[in-house]
Amino acid sequence: MELTEVQKDFKEKVCDEIRLIPEGLSRYVVSHPFTFDDGDHYIIVLKKIGENWLLTDEGHTIMHLSYEDLDLKHGGYKEIIDNIVSAFGLDNRQGELVLPVPETRFGDALFSFIQALVKLSDIKYLQRERIRSLFMEEFKGFLGEAIPQQYRQFDYAHPERDPKRVYTVDCLLKASKRPVFIFGIINDSKCQTVTNIIYWWEKQGDHFDITAIFENQEEINRKVLARFSDVCGRQFSNLPTNRDRIKGYISEVLAK
Amino acid sequence: MAAVQLTDEDINKLIQIPKPLPANYKRLLRYRAKPTSEQHEEAQFDIEASSERTFRVMIRKNLINPLDFSVILGYIPKERLNILRLRRYNGIHEHTNKLEGVRFRGFHIHYATQRYQEAGWDIDDYAEPTEKYGTVDQALELYFNECNFIKPEDEKLQPKLLE
């Protein structure tokens, strides 16, 4: 296909996707193909106020973010929203995002507006990262209750051979027969890192057992999990449904 | 295939679980604006159903456009820290179902499905257009009926003014 044909195809397809739907006086809903992750399209309305045109989301974007149960006034979200709004030249009018259209440059304004809405809708992923970090807090809290203090040590590193604490163990269970290294696994990256940590410990010649508690073992890549399974002993696929089982296992190990 | 948190069977069972509304549920549904936005109001509360299942009623109402709203049924599993949305009764805007490639504009209802989870999308990304309601209050009534909410006894005894 000639380049000019490709360009023509791009223009026609893109143009076909943008339409104005009149709804009210000097108010047009902009129909476009851009969506939130859930398939709902961004709401973009073109309005004429006096002699000036502007694009507005009529408050929908922040309302949509609230479906994720985000506390937008805390956690740095407000600053992120302010930065994005400012970067794309929008106004945040108490939750309504507005972009005046300069000198009838409707296309430019639309592109800027859409880019801003896309960036704003990505804020919800910050929440998911926060949820992941909460698993390790839950992991430590659970083991802190399940294992008497004299038998456990969090973030254990070899005192002589790892002074920089590169190969740390999430929780050392000081069983008299054989210590157990317990790891909390939240994602592929942690799983791979722990595999490498275990390899290092094996080379030190010490004797130990390995136990892993996953946030959700089903989410781990199969190959990563397969490599990990070669070096790990007991595995628990998640914490919530295995609490009693893990406590039983710990009691068994400490009793030996 | 991505992790599936709820199968279609799980979802249907959760929808069918009776959800008793507290006696003061109308007071709990009084909408309030949030500090982050004065352009929409929110109302939400949790319900403990049988078998220690926790559900969340969430409503959002746009103050600029009254046809832009969302009435949401959330489920909070004991072992997770996030809310899974099982149903979402939305106002008018465009929606595209990514798996089916279908696009439409109007009132629509989002349904939690297994197949969207398997494809790596959020649980409630699938939606269908509806003509069953035209306002947020009508959507709320439909939501109460379809998601098996049980109204307080004294409300059930009141005759309906209009059938």
- Do A70 and A151 lie in a common domain? no
CATH number of the CATH domain containing A148: 3.40.1350
Chain B residues in contact with A94 by the CB 8 A cut-off are 37-39
Q: Per the CB < 8 Å rule, is A60 touching B93?
A: yes
User: Are residue A97 and residue A141 in the same domain, yes or no?
Assistant: no
Contact A73 B36 (CB under 8 A): yes
Q: How close, in Å, is residue B106 to chain A by CA atoms?
A: 11
Domain boundary among A122, A156, A176: A122
Mean pLDDT is lowest, of A1-5, A26-30, A129-133, for A129-133
For tokens 């992941």, the residue is A132
pLDDT tens-digit profile of A215-255? 889 878 888 899 999 999 999 998 888 999 999 999 999 98
Say which residue, B104 or A8, is predicted with more confidence: B104
Range(s) of the domain holding residue A73: 3-122
Q: Within a domain: residue A227?
A: yes
Selected residue with higher pLDDT from A31 and B35: A31
Q: Quick one: pLDDT at residue A118?
A: 95
In terms of domains, do A108 and A64 share one? Answer: yes
Instruction: Considering only the beta carbons, identify the residue of A67, A216, A241 that sits closest to B72.
Output: A67
Do A59 and B62 make contact, defined as CB atoms within 8 angstroms? Answer: yes
Q: Which range (A193-197, B150-154, B157-161) has the least confidence?
A: B157-161
pLDDT bracket for residue A74 (50, 70, 90): low
pLDDT in tens, A119-129: 999 887 776 55
Residues of A in contact with B63 (CB under 8 A): 59
Q: Which of B2, B42, B64 sits opposite A59 (nearest CB)?
A: B64
Strand A96-100 to A152-156 pairing: unpaired
More confident residue, B159 or A4: A4
Interface predicted TM-score (ipTM): 0.90
* Residue pLDDT, tens place only, A205-222: 889 999 999 988 987 888
Q: In this complex, do A41 and B63 lie within 8 Å of one another by their Cβ atoms?
A: no
Beta strands in chain A (DSSP E): 19-22, 27-31, 45-49, 52-56, 91-93, 96-100, 152-156, 169-173, 180-185, 209-214, 234-236
Say how many domains are in chain A.
2
List of long-range contacts for A110-114, beta carbons under 8 Å, 24+ apart: A110/A18, A110/A30, A110/A32, A110/A44, A110/A55, A112/A88, A113/A44, A113/A55, A113/A57, A113/A88, A114/A32, A114/A34, A114/A42, A114/A44
Average pLDDT over residues A21-37: 94
Taking an 8 Å cut-off on Cβ atoms, the answer to whether B64 and A58 are in contact is yes
Q: Which residue of A has its CA nearest to B40?
A: A63
Domain boundary pick from A91, A122, A153: A122
| pLDDT tier at B80, thresholds 50, 70, 90 | low
Of all residues in chain A, what percent carry a pLDDT higher than 70? 93
Looking at the predicted structure, is the pLDDT value of residue B161 above 60? no
Task: Choose one of A101, A122, A143: the last residue of a domain.
Answer: A122
Q: What are phi and psi of B86, to 5 degrees?
A: -95, -35
Q: What is the reported pLDDT for B163?
A: 40
**Alpha-carbon distance B51 to A39, whole Å?**
33
Within-domain flag for B24 = yes
Q: What is the residue-averaged pLDDT of chain B?
A: 89
B58 touches A at CB < 8 Å? yes
Beta-carbon separation of B37 and A95 below 8 A: yes
- Could you tell me if A98 and A203 lie in one domain? no
Share of chain A above pLDDT 90, in %: 59
pLDDT of residue B51: 74
Rounded to the nearest angstrom, the minimum Cα separation between A58 and chain B is 6
A158 shares its domain with A238: yes
Distance from CA of A77 to the nearest CA of B (A): 10
Is the model's pLDDT at B162 over the cut of 50?
no
Residue B52 domain flag = yes
Rounded CA gap, B15 and B78, in Å?
Answer: 17
* Interchain contact, B40 vs A33, CB within 8 Å: no
| A108 has pLDDT over 70 | yes
Q: Nearest CA of chain A to the CA of B96: how many Å?
A: 5
Q: Which candidate from B64, B79, B96 shows the least CB-CB separation from A39?
A: B96
Interatomic CA distance for residues B13 and B22, integer angstroms: 21
Q: What is the DSSP letter of A35?
A: B
- A73: which chain B residues are within 8 Å (Cβ-Cβ)? 34-36
State the best of A55, A60, A135, A243 to mutate against chain B, taking most chain B CBs within 10 Å.
Answer: A60
B45 in contact with A at a CB cutoff of 8 Å?
Answer: no
**Angle formed by the axes of helices A124-146 and A243-255, nearest 10°:** 40
**CA dist list (Å): A42 to A34, A81, A214, B156:** 6, 16, 36, 40
> Tens of pLDDT along B116-129?
999 999 999 999 99
pLDDT of residue A49: 92
Average pLDDT of the residues in B53-58: 92
CATH number of the domain residue A16 falls in: 3.30.1460
Domain count, chain B: 1
Q: Looking at residue B53, what is its pLDDT? A: 85
Q: Where are the alpha helices (DSSP H) in chain B?
A: 8-16, 25-28, 114-118, 136-146, 153-157
Residue B94 lies inside a defined structural domain of this protein: yes
